[in-house]
Amino acid sequence: MSKRTSQLLILGTFLAAGLTLSVACNTPSKTTQAGGDLGSRTYVPVGEWDKYYAFLSGGQSGGVYVYGLPSGRLIRSIPVYEPRAGYGYANVPGTESYERLAASGPMWGDTHHPILSETGGDYDGKRLWINDKANSRIARVDLSTFETKAIVKIPNLQATHGIAVISPDTSYIIANGEFRAEIPAGSVDVDSYSSVMAFLDPMTLETRFEVLMPGNCDIADSSKDGRWAFTTMYNLEGAVTVEGMIQREEDGIGAVDIHAAEAAMERGEFTVIDGVKVIDPSATTEKVVYVIPVPKNPHGCDVTPDGKYVMGTGKLSPTVSIIDISKIDQVENLRDAIAGQPDVGLGPLHTTFDGRGNAYTSLFVDSQIVKWNIEKAIAGDPTYIVDRVDIHYNVGHTQATLAETMHPTGEYLLSLNKLSKDQYLPVGPTMPEAQELIDISGHKMTLLSSFPAEPEPHDAVFMLATDLAPNVIQTEEFAINAVPEDGSRVERVGPNEVHVYMTAIRSKYGLNEFTVKQGDKVTITLTNIETIRDMSHGFAIEDYGINMALDPGQTREVTFIADKPGTHWYYCTWFCSALHLEMRGRMLVEAGG
């Protein structure tokens, strides 16, 4: 069978499997596995902590979910591109989080890839970044508070998809534009379409420079030495239709030489477009972009923990392409940089690692995780497949514990499944997404447990609790605008402008009441003056659409127009003591203004 025929067959199988899936959903044949003592392997006794934090992207929910592993307990969610009243996040106009999100784009997003800050190739427990594919944004979350601290829209880029920390010391965050579009924006001229890889400042998220990419960009990763940024490319055709995007037999893994790109910047080899320095790799002195040919429409892009190889995972091809990173700028023909191309199964999407020389690839069509040995696959040893485990069902991403660092723990693997079908109590035509936890510490994999999530996690990253828990602060430091214990007061700052300063502590606000005039612009500065962890207070005003949440020590502000006359009770929304219900006061709005 020719290579072309076999690939077409595989594509056919892929699409056909997709079709039968929808039929199978109506007639579930329930799959269960023997329980045995598996329960004890994920059981975390009451009062004890999980060993790992797991950060799962929220997909079209727009945030990040934080679970404990191995228990699979949801311990918090982090709203990023979505309002969340519970945390007083972006739910009320006139608050900082609302205004920041609104200034960057819509009040919703599509998050796929959480990534963690690194120092020396290992997680330092400081920060997390997450993309918004739908609105070309990226956000930074501070892991000392689990709060979103920055959100920006990236210029010249459509569909922020793959993002990655440049190892080993987080020198840049790279963000891939998945959709080709015109640059600069504003025309419909297909000839001016391009995809870009953006190099961002990790703290400010400002774009330091961008590189125009042939074809398109998809999933991202970096080498472990700060030299290379990688991306899969499934549209080297540069097409604008599905049919067009699967025309060619080969697409590529793109490798951007970061040092060469920086040298090009220094030589002034860039054009400023929409305020950003853009490098056109066809016009640089040194070669900046390499495209390694791999079978058509690859998806996952993953660098091994030792930094030797980058894996392009096949999707339409049943293979994983193992690229020897050290050869990329050494070989004449980039095909010679491919160290191996093992068959792994149907619909391979993403690959992860245990740090003991094994790779684990998710198989969307086969609904399996396959474990295979990297060096055996390269050597052509036919016994490179170590094990397969069935999952339920249709896995997208898979990640093993700390696999993105230089020191994976090789303990657990999470299979992030797209369909749960018959696995949970029915909750409507749409069922929850399912994560399955697999023990990978032994030779054989063991499927341990499953836990659901809201729509819809794509990817996950993990941190050891011992690396992160000590960095989480117990209370906020009092900010410069904090209201001191005796500082509650009302100040008229203009003919139609009032500033209210108030404290909150169990279980009383600093003011039992305050009076304003109808039409006044009112700013309330509220400080939770508690000094004990977990003593949160809230502040909602009846019929005014206002609700804030305050961590201990935290100060929040809201500005609004007091347009409705009368008595408006404000009250605490976080249960804080036996007198929580009594923790309230009155905003008196005098009619007429």
Summarize as ranges the residues that interact with ligand CUA (CB under 6 A): 507, 537, 572, 574-576, 580, 583
As separate numbers, helices (DSSP H) first and strands (DSSP E) second, the chain gives 7, 41
**List 219, 289, 461, 502, residue binding ligand K7E (CB under 6 A):** 219
Q: How far apart are CA 180 and CA 164, in angstroms?
A: 19
Residues 6 or more apart whose Cβ sits within 8 Å of residue 338: 292, 294, 321, 322, 323, 324
Residue 397 touches which of ligand K7E, Ca ion, ligand CUA, none (Cβ within 5-8 Å per kind): ligand K7E
Q: How far apart are CA 416 and CA 454, in angstroms?
A: 12
Written as six digits, the tokens of 455 are 């729509």
**Between 296 and 458, CB nearer to Ca ion:** 296
Q: How far apart are CA 339 and CA 355, in angstroms?
A: 19
C-alpha separations of 398 from 234, 268, 291, 412 in Å: 20, 41, 25, 11
Could you say which residues in the range 295-314 bind Ca ion, by CB under 5 A?
296-297
Rule CB under 6 A: say whether 459 interacts with ligand K7E.
yes
Q: How far apart are CA 300 and CA 314, in angstroms?
A: 8
**Between 249 and 381, CB nearer to Ca ion:** 249
Closest separation in Å from C-beta 584 to ligand CUA: 9
Residues in binding contact with ligand K7E, number by CB under 6 A: 11
**Between 118 and 221, CB nearer to ligand K7E:** 221
Rule CB under 5 A: say whether 433 interacts with Ca ion.
no
Rule CB under 6 A: say whether 315 interacts with ligand K7E.
no
C-alpha separations of 388 from 2, 76, 129, 360, 436 in Å: 27, 32, 32, 9, 14
Q: Considering only CA atoms, which of 518, 526, 514, 522 is closest in space to residue 498? A: 522
Q: Considering only CA atoms, which of 360, 375, 364 is closest in space to residue 438? A: 360
**Between 514 and 574, CB nearer to ligand CUA:** 574
**List 82, 251, 436, 476, residue binding Ca ion (CB under 5 A):** 251
Closest separation in Å from C-beta 580 to ligand CUA: 4
DSSP SS3 for 84? strand
Closest separation in Å from C-beta 507 to ligand CUA: 5
**List 205, 349, 359, 535, residue binding ligand K7E (CB under 6 A):** 349
Inter-residue long-range contacts of 425-431, CB under 8 Å, 24+ positions, other chains counted? 430/455
User: For the window 58-97, what string marks contact with ligand K7E as x by the rule CB under 6 A?
Assistant: ----------------------------------------
Closest separation in Å from C-beta 503 to ligand CUA: 11
**Between 134 and 278, CB nearer to ligand K7E:** 134
| Contact predicate 269/277, CB 8 Å | no
Residue 575 touches which of ligand K7E, Ca ion, ligand CUA, none (Cβ within 5-8 Å per kind): ligand CUA
Closest separation in Å from C-beta 5 to ligand K7E: 27
Closest separation in Å from C-beta 80 to ligand K7E: 15
Rule CB under 6 A: say whether 308 interacts with ligand K7E.
no
**Between 183 and 461, CB nearer to ligand K7E:** 461
Rule CB under 6 A: say whether 458 interacts with ligand K7E.
yes
Residue 549 touches which of Ca ion, ligand K7E, ligand CUA, none (Cβ within 5-8 Å per kind): none
- The side-by-side arrangement of strands in the sheet containing 358-363 is 348-353, 358-363, 368-373, 385-390
Q: How far apart are CA 249 and CA 312, in angstroms?
A: 15
Closest separation in Å from C-beta 527 to ligand CUA: 13
Residues in binding contact with Ca ion, number by CB under 5 A: 4
C-alpha separations of 429 from 419, 420, 432, 495, 586 in Å: 12, 12, 10, 56, 45
As beta bridge partners, residue 587 has 514, 568
Residue 137 touches which of ligand CUA, ligand K7E, Ca ion, none (Cβ within 5-8 Å per kind): none
Cβ count within 10 A of residue 47: 5
Closest separation in Å from C-beta 168 to ligand K7E: 23
Closest separation in Å from C-beta 504 to ligand CUA: 6
DSSP SS3 for 468? helix
Q: Which residues bind ligand K7E (CB under 6 A)?
A: 112-113, 161, 219, 299, 349-350, 396-397, 458-459
Footprint of Ca ion on this chain (CB under 5 A)?
245, 251, 296-297
